[in-house]
Structure 1
Amino acid sequence: MYFSLCVTIYFSISSSAYQFLYLLINILLYQSIYFSVFLSFYQSMYLSIYLFISLSLNLLINLFLYLSIYFSIFVSFYHSLSFSITVVGMIESERRLYLLVREEKRFAEAKKHCQERGGWLAMPHDEVSNELLASYVTHGSSLGAYSRWQPGEPNNILGNENCVEMMSSGGWNNVDCSQGLYFVCEFEKLDTWPQNTYFFLF
């Protein structure tokens, strides 16, 4: 009887220990599974956040580049548009190109404008170039042997008329150099340029 009770208790304890061990193993197993799932979720979430940040930065960089390109195109277009409003184009003689600038400038400003573009303020050297420049503005530096003053000119009536304007008739009139006028830039004609070449300077 005592032996049977001991055996029963032993088997009960053994069974309980086995069940406890089995339960513990299951808990650890499920915990490891849950941890793996959680870790995978955490890694995937971290990866998703990383990808989102990377794609966002890439998108912002591309957007900035595209905006820079479009802005450059817009500025170039605006510059060419505004330039084409003030500049008519070019007329040519056998050896010279003349650029009419429809923008009122004083003598020093007009001279600088032409020099910055590789030319100089236009000056008629003969009747042919004078006819080409008729109704345009010319400078008041040394005119050389050729002249075509209006009757009674140069009179220097104001005492400071050291520059020359050209009338629509082709005649000349002396004016104050501080007066703003349209002007013409003159350029050497290169041998490599084809005949009847017209272009704009920027």
Structure 2
Amino acid sequence: MKVTYLKHSGFMVESRNYIYLFDYIGGNIDKAIKSDKKIYVMVSHIHDDHFSKIIFDIATKHDNVTYILSYDVVKKIKKNAVLSKMVEQLNIIRVQAHEKYKIDDIVVETLKSTDEGVAFIVSEKDGTIYHAGDLNWWHWDGEPKSWNRNMEVNFKREIDSMKGRKIDIAFVPLDPRQEEAYYMGMDYFIKNVGANEIYPMHFWGEPEIIDRYKNEYGGENIVSKAVFCK
């Protein structure tokens, strides 16, 4: 599979038969999408750093596009007359947490985010992809201990459900805003699930956090910023 970093938490993954766009909010994909492969556009949740209406422009340029959207994204679309009109002819599949969907020749499973929406596990002949969306161990110094503890429990429950699975490519948050707690979600994922290739995301224009993590905690399967960051 070929991985292209786009922006923030946005990635394009191309397998032999399909193209997947995860949380695409920007980045030039016109030159990257040259084939007539089926395209799956996947959005984990409604936040502006994960969802943009520009995803619907893809269907005006390419045939055979399927949109796999978290339930909260579909809810917003239905409430917005302009968006609703824009997508009325598109192939949209609404997904919610803790479900499995057989779509063409791929299987999409969802986990419950610790923020909004879902995380995706996509399985097909060429391998398995995990995109966390905002499923992360969010720990903030300003929150009560009970809030942070609840977040830890919820995060570990979702990640633990993947134990024993073979993940080929994983996109996992590494957020510098969490200060000294920045590493916890990534570290727990690596130690309990892991993947052949791990691509950090959600680093808010500070890709140096990737090298910091590798220097402080290791992670030989983490793809360096020099490989995929613009």
**When the two structures are superposed, what TM-score results if normalisation uses the length of structure 2?**
0.23
**When the two structures are superposed, what TM-score results if normalisation uses the length of structure 1?**
0.25
Larger of the two Rg values belongs to structure: 1
Structure with greater proportional strand content:
2
Q: Which structure is richer in relative contact order (CA contacts within 8 A, separation 6 or more)?
A: 1
Structure with greater proportional helix content:
1
